[in-house]
Structure 1
Amino acid sequence: MLIELVKIAKFPGRPWRAAVRTAFGHAAVRWCGERSAEPGEYHVEWTIDEDIVWEYNAKPAVATGPGLRTGGHCVVLRGQLHLTEDGAALLDLAGTKVLLHLGLVRPIM
């Protein structure tokens, strides 16, 4: 996905963070690229480090169209969700596809 890198920062005891902008929103995200990267446009790959579980960390969007924003302790992505035949899902963000792994929903005992 094409992003605009605004700045990179390191806070004590925390991973490198980057302020990024896209055509549909901006957020502060963990930065795994070159620490010497200058502000500008970059093609990046999004990594989601949590299984997606419907109604836990995934739900129908209130707004329409793709979106990206910081949501407290996480980044909120809004797009069109497509299930794959092999048990994963693709989140379409204005033509960029993010692969998601689906978690199993376990009943609460």
Structure 2
Amino acid sequence: MLVELVKVAKFPWSPWLAQIRTPYGSTAVRWRGDPAAEPGEVHVEWTVDEDFRWGQNAKPAAASGPDIRAGGHCVILQGLLSVEEDGATVMDLGGSLILLDITGPLPENASGAWIELWVEREKISLYPYVL
């Protein structure tokens, strides 16, 4: 996904965090690139290091369409969920695919539905890459 890197900062109690803007919203998440990265456009891959349990930190979205927003110490991601034939669970976030670890059962109609995920910002990372 192409994002606008606003700034990279570190607080004594946190890892390096990147403040980003996307066409779908803005937030701050863990930064896995150069801490001295300059502001500007950068391609990133999203990874999530958290298990999701339906009804706790994963639920149906109130509306359709991708969305990224801050929610206290969490990041709220809204995307299209799909369960692949091999059992892999993937969220499509505006064309970027994020592999998810789902624990517990999903509702029958979850695959193909818009969902919200609540993720602690230290458990979601952006890895920059060059095309």
Scaled by the length of structure 2, the TM-score of the pair is 0.75
1:43 has 2:43 as partner: yes
Deviation of the 1:70 alpha carbon: 1.0
RMSD: 1.2
Find the aligned partners of 2:16 and 2:96 in 1 and give their Cα distance.
24
Instruction: Answer whether contact 2:69 2:76 (CA < 8 A) is retained.
Output: yes
The total of aligned residue pairs comes to: 105
1:80 has 2:75 as partner: no
Deviation of the 1:46 alpha carbon: 0.8
Q: What are the within-5 Å matches in structure 2 for residues 49-60 of structure 1? A: 49-60=49-60
Give the unaligned 5+ runs of structure 1: none
Give the unaligned 5+ runs of structure 2: 106-131
Find the aligned partners of 1:39 and 1:95 in 2 and give their Cα distance.
23
Q: Please name the residue that 2:30 is paired with.
A: 30
Sequence identity percentage: 58
Instruction: Answer whether contact 2:45 2:96 (CA < 8 A) is retained.
Output: no
Find the aligned partners of 1:14 and 1:98 in 2 and give their Cα distance.
23
Once structures 1 and 2 are overlaid, which stretch shifts more, 65-74 or 86-95? 86-95
Scaled by the length of structure 1, the TM-score of the pair is 0.89
Find the aligned partners of 2:72 and 2:88 in 1 and give their Cα distance.
26
1:17 has 2:28 as partner: no
Instruction: Answer whether contact 2:4 2:22 (CA < 8 A) is retained.
Output: yes
Instruction: Answer whether contact 1:87 1:101 (CA < 8 A) is retained.
Output: no
Structure 1 runs, 4 residues or longer, greater than 4 Å off: none
Higher RCO (C-alpha 8 Å, min separation 6): 2
Letter in structure 1 aligned against 2:67: G
